[in-house]
Structure 1
Amino acid sequence: MDYFSIDGPLNEWIVLFHGTGGNEFSLLQIAGDIEPNANILSLIGNVGSRESRRFFSPLENGKLIRTDFNERVEEFLTTWHHIKPTNTEKITFLGYSNGANFILGILEKAPEIADCIVLMHPANLGYTFEGGSNVQIYITAGSMDTLAIPGDTMKLSKQLEQHFPNTTFKLVDSGHEVRDIEIDYLRKVLK
């Protein structure tokens, strides 16, 4: 899995997971808006290319291809073991759409991987959380989102709360896109 990093003056890291069709640069502005002084580690999905680039294979009939999904998560965890920032005060994973869904797969296997998790517009794809932690999780959803249905995302939030008690759900007036109101909200809660 390819990645790149940008050094910042804070002893804090934001790890970015783009959405479908994105790249390692897609979420830089959002990360900079949230905390301009953080170090950045941005990953690039290795399935597909250009407008179909993603972290795991496309869904089949609305469902994860579990074998592929689990293999991709394990590949990330192996990479993470070698690239994980050390001696840092805070690690935040931030993912949008496909990247947020991928982070959920990571949480299935490694519930204490980060101090904070931001899931922007994740889909409820039948995750199974056996463990949990006190990680702070923020989930955002668009009230008019037709790709990640907000009611299903709220159900996902309730499922997460059973294993991760510090889970917060925020519904914003948008579709599947990230809006300024969402970034403003995240900036406030992540300080």
Structure 2
Amino acid sequence: MNHFTIEGPLNEWIVLFHGTGGNEYSLLQIAGDIEPNAHVLSFLGDVDEGANRRFFAPLKAGTLDRADFDARIDAFLKDWPQLRPEQATRITFMGFSNGANFVLGLLEKEPAIADRVVLLHPSNLAYTFTEGSNAQIIVTSGAMDTLALPGDTMKLTKQLEAVFPNTTLKLLDGAHGMTEQEITYLQDTLR
């Protein structure tokens, strides 16, 4: 999976996973708004869906292709030890939509992969969390989101809370996209 790094003066790292149709630059502004001095490691999904990039195969009839999903999660986790910044004082994983769903797959298999996890507009795709961690998990959803339904996101949050006790859901105005209100919430919560 292609990625790039932006160096920062802090030993804090923000690891980014874009949404469908995005790219490795899509979340840079948000990361900079949250902590402009952090190192950034940003990934580009390697699944093509027309002109769109994704981290795993598209859903079929609303269902996750579990074999493809697990294979891509396993491939990332195999490479992560070489990419993981050993000197980091704090690692934050942030994903939007497809990227957030990918991060949820990482949490299924490696619940302590990050100190903080920001899931922006994730979908509830029948994840199974058998273990958790003390990682801070922040979930956001738009009240009028028709792609990642807020009711499903609330159910997902309850599932996460069962094993990740530091989980918070923020329901915001808006649809399936980032708003200024959401960015301000993340700044206030993560700083």
Q: Do they fold alike, i.e. is TM over 0.5?
A: yes
Give 1:4 deviation, angstroms: 0.1
Aligned to 1:96: 96
SS in 1 for 2:24: coil
Give 1:180 deviation, angstroms: 0.7
Give 1:154 deviation, angstroms: 0.5
Per-residue Cα deviation, 1:17-66 (whole angstroms, up to 9, x for no partner): 00001111010001001110100000010000674210000001101000
SS in 2 for 1:80: helix
Aligned to 1:47: 47
Aligned to 1:145: 145
Aligned partners of 2:183 and 2:140: how far apart in 1?
A: 10
Aligned partners of 1:78 and 1:18: how far apart in 2?
A: 20
Q: Which amino acid aligns with 1:35?
A: E
Matched, 1:154 2:171: no
List alignment gaps of at least 5 residues for structure 1: none
Tell me if structure 2 keeps the 8 A contact 1:22–1:50. no
Aligned to 1:176: 176
Per-residue Cα deviation, 1:54-104 (whole angstroms, up to 9, x for no partner): 000000110100000000000111111111011111000000000000000
Aligned to 2:31: 31
Aligned partners of 2:123 and 2:49: how far apart in 1?
A: 21
List alignment gaps of at least 5 residues for structure 2: none
Aligned to 1:78: 78
Of residues 143-152 and 45-54 in structure 1, the stretch that sits farther from structure 2 once superposed is 45-54
Tell me if structure 2 keeps the 8 A contact 1:22–1:51. no
**Runs of 4+ in structure 1 over 3 Å off:** none
Aligned partners of 1:188 and 1:51: how far apart in 2?
A: 35
Identity %: 62
Aligned partners of 1:144 and 1:84: how far apart in 2?
A: 36
Change (3 A) 1:51 1:21: farther
Aligned partners of 1:110 and 1:180: how far apart in 2?
A: 31
Per-residue Cα deviation, 1:133-173 (whole angstroms, up to 9, x for no partner): 00000000000000000010000000000010000000000
Aligned to 2:87: 87
- RMSD between aligned alpha carbons? 0.8
Spell out the pairing of 1:50-65 with structure 2 (5 A cutoff): 51-65=51-65
SS in 2 for 1:8: coil
Aligned partners of 1:180 and 1:85: how far apart in 2?
A: 30
Aligned partners of 2:71 and 2:94: how far apart in 1?
A: 21
Spell out the pairing of 1:115-130 with structure 2 (5 A cutoff): 115-130=115-130
Aligned partners of 1:183 and 1:50: how far apart in 2?
A: 29
Aligned partners of 2:162 and 2:140: how far apart in 1?
A: 18
SS in 2 for 1:53: strand
SS in 1 for 2:19: coil
